[in-house]
Chain A
Amino acid sequence: QSVLTQPPSVSGAPGQRVTISCTGSSSNIGAGYDVHWYQQLPGTAPKLLIYGNSNRPSGVPDRFSGSKSGTSASLAITGLQAEDEADYYCQSYDSSLSGPNYVFGTGTKVTVL
């Protein structure tokens, strides 16, 4: 089961700003591990959107931005466009005695009204 909690859905009209939260705990985000965000369009593989909490890979529009504070992180989409309708996942790392443990959020479906 996912250890990072996201709202199941968010929606907004074209041009609006929406935010997606990603809530973790002291063993993952709160432990200082970086948060990454992925966009998954219907029927396709995930695509890296934000890495290292707030960095955009080349080619990702600056409408997408990320932030992190305490045990949570957020993804903001400004100037919402129809093509942004997709599922979004946060991802971090959880400390474990048995080795690395990459953890994903529960996922958020963004609907453009």
Chain B
Amino acid sequence: EVQLVESGGGLVQPGGSLRLSCAASGFTVSSNYMSWVRQAPGKGLEWVSVIYSGGSTYYADSVKGRFTISRHNSKNTLYLQMNSLRAEDTAVYYCARDNRSFYDAFDIWGQGTMVTVSS
């Protein structure tokens, strides 16, 4: 079965760090474009970051310089290292596969992991 399972969310103080993981099954992370998308409580979806199959990485301006996307090929897992966290980073974080065959639509989503930044 093709699926994504996130983990690593939790409560962290402002200025703190957290690393999210996204374990994939049924397909190879390194062969796909993989993104992180977040959703603040009661708000809409916001793209956060993408890693291309070739390894290039890109970020939304709101997280640039603070977040780092990466992957571990042998573990077939995607990561998001979040540093210098702010209250406005509070959200459910989803990992998603960008399917090139679907005109770059996000066809597979994880269940999400909640990150709360608060003192």
Which residues of chain A have a CB within 8 Å of any CB of chain B?
2, 34, 36, 38, 44-48, 51-53, 55, 57, 89, 91, 93, 98-107
Tell me whether B50 is interfacial, beta carbon within 8 Å: yes
Q: Is the interface of B mostly helix, strand, loop or mixed?
A: strand
Q: Once the chains bind, are A104 and B109 in contact (CB under 8 Å)?
A: no
Would you mind naming 24 contact pairs between A and B with Cβ atoms under 8 Å apart? A36-B102, A36-B106, A38-B45, A44-B111, A45-B94, A46-B45, A46-B94, A46-B106, A46-B109, A47-B109, A48-B105, A51-B103, A51-B107, A53-B103, A89-B45, A91-B45, A91-B106, A98-B58, A100-B58, A102-B35, A103-B47, A104-B37, A104-B47, A107-B44
Within 8 Å CB of A55, what residues of B? 102-103
**Closest B residue to A4 using CB positions:** B44
Which residues of chain B have a CB within 8 Å of any CB of chain A?
35, 37, 44-47, 50, 58, 60-61, 94, 99, 102-107, 109-112
Given A52-B102, A91-B106, A101–B60 Cβ distance below 8 Å?
yes
